[in-house]
Amino acid sequence: MSEACRLVLVDDHAIVREGYRRLLEARPDLLIVGEAASAREAMDQYRALMPDVLVLDLGLPDMGGVELIRRLLQRDPAARILVFTMHREPLFATQALRAGALGYVTKSSPPEVLVSAVYQVAARRQVISPDIAPELALALIDRPRERLAELAPREFEILRLLLDGCSADEIGARLSISAKTVQNCHYQIKSKLGVRSDIELTRLALRMGLI
């Protein structure tokens, strides 16, 4: 790239954000132009700065990263998003990529993997960190995981919030949708996963490592 690649970092942990900001800024052709600690801050930063790459943690306090990816891509289909997260569960990677992220790197990866992934995503190439690639491939032939992977990004986000103990009203407020829409989606999730009750849904989530 002839010009510096402009990055926005999204992570609700300031100390963690500072660590990989220093790592990335050590490269003369990578420039951090903005930082955000929440999904709404991230949307504002993206709209104002239009970065080349958004480096995004999935665990945000107001809205999940998967839903944020979906919304950013709705606003700008050309957005280049790299997920940088603690989640090693293949279902999170599958959902993030389905929502439109170009890359998925775990925080347990060596630093050079993150740096390389930034360049890959800036070049509009898909990248997955080596530590989860084999598990991601195996998940595709595991039927229960496959069913979970087939949930739409918003359904997956609502499922995640339900498993966190959020009510329909709380989920609706976070995602800017009605509680009725959340309840309808809750029913659709159980139908898609072939479970009849919230107890069965929780057991499935436990087996799949979602909680």
What confidence score (pLDDT) does residue 134 get? 72
What confidence score (pLDDT) does residue 139 get? 56
Q: Please tell me whether residues 21 and 109 are part of one structural domain.
A: yes
Q: Please tell me whether residues 68 and 128 are part of one structural domain.
A: yes
Which of 52, 54, 57, 63 has its CA nearest to residue 81?
Answer: 54
What whole-number distance in Å separates Cα of residue 76 and Cα of residue 79? 6
Q: Please tell me whether residues 149 and 90 are part of one structural domain.
A: no
What confidence score (pLDDT) does residue 1 get? 46
Q: Which of 137, 171, 188 is the last residue of a domain?
A: 137
What whole-number distance in Å separates Cα of residue 98 and Cα of residue 104? 11
* Residue 105 φ then ψ, to 5°: -130, 135
Q: Please check whether residue 3 is in contact with residue 95, taking contact to mean a CB–CB distance below 8 angstroms.
A: no
Q: Please tell me whether residues 116 and 74 are part of one structural domain.
A: yes
Show the domain range for 150: 142-207
Q: Please tell me whether residues 120 and 156 are part of one structural domain.
A: no
Q: Which of 108, 137, 166 is the last residue of a domain?
A: 137
Q: Please check whether residue 85 is in contact with residue 92, taking contact to mean a CB–CB distance below 8 angstroms.
A: yes
Which of 1, 113, 111, 109 has its CA nearest to residue 52?
Answer: 1
What confidence score (pLDDT) does residue 32 get? 96
Q: Please tell me whether residues 182 and 91 are part of one structural domain.
A: no
What whole-number distance in Å separates Cα of residue 164 and Cα of residue 27? 38
Q: What is the block-wise mean pLDDT of the chain (211 residues), using blocks of 10 residues?
A: 85 93 95 95 96 95 90 94 91 87 94 96 94 69 65 88 91 91 93 87 79 69
Q: Which of 80, 111, 137 is the last residue of a domain?
A: 137
CATH of the domain at 153: 1.10.10.10
